[in-house]
Structure 1
Amino acid sequence: MAENNADKGARTTNLQLSELESDTGPSSAASGTGQSAPPDFGGDITPQNLEAIYDIPVQVSAVLGKSSMQVSQLLKLGRGAVVELDRKVGEAIDIYVNNRLVARGEVVVVDDRLGVTMTEIIKTDR
């Protein structure tokens, strides 16, 4: 479903790439964590040299909640079955880009379709 929406140019909130990137600071190798620093491709990140990546497709998923069950319970599910999730009504949902948590948001209705309003951008250390 997400792939179809992306192909159709569905109405979505555009995340700015700068909101998804972590702040660049001293490399983790220099800070003694033992991890190597990201490669330096020379030069600063500017809108002009980011232009090349704007058309790269990404998978965006909005997760309402999660549930776990035994295979025997899964096989008993049928039309009309209700699966209880680990979230409450009105609680923020998780938004993933390429299986990486990047934001939280709220479910909204846009015309006759579901959408997501971004309420919090998650910044992670790399």
Structure 2
Amino acid sequence: MSTIESVSVALAVQLGCATMPVHQLLRMGRGAVIALDSRESDDVVLLANNVPIAEGQVLVQGEKITVSITRMLPLASDRRRT
């Protein structure tokens, strides 16, 4: 295996966003519901090390939750290597 293939990347899926005052966040507890700015049919954003790299649809396959990539996002010009 080459060196690049052994590098680990943290992947995360962003379902949506919400903005709220800190005092409201501090009052939250178990069972609190946060309304996001997205709908069920909207694409989610796939992040690699907190950098958006793709969009996709959330799928439920049995007991597994998966993401089907629908679009790769262009890399920011300052992140490209020449």
Higher strand share: 2
Q: Partners in 2 of 1:125 and 1:83 — Cα distance?
A: 30
Of structures 1 and 2, the larger Rg is shown by 1
Q: Partners in 2 of 1:76 and 1:112 — Cα distance?
A: 32
The number of residues matched between the two structures is 77
Of 95, 98, 114, 2:65 maps to: 114
Identical positions, percent? 31
Of 39, 42, 57, 1:91 maps to: 42
List structure 1 runs of 4+ shifted beyond 3 angstroms: none
When normalised by structure 2's length, the TM-score is 0.82
Q: CA offset at residue 125 of structure 1?
A: 4.2
Alignment of 1:48-87 (within 5 A): 51-87=2-38
Query: Tell me, which stretches of 5 or more residues in structure 1 are unaligned?
Result: 1-49
Cα root mean square deviation, aligned: 1.6
When normalised by structure 1's length, the TM-score is 0.56
3-state SS of paired residue (1:106): strand
3-state SS of paired residue (1:54): helix
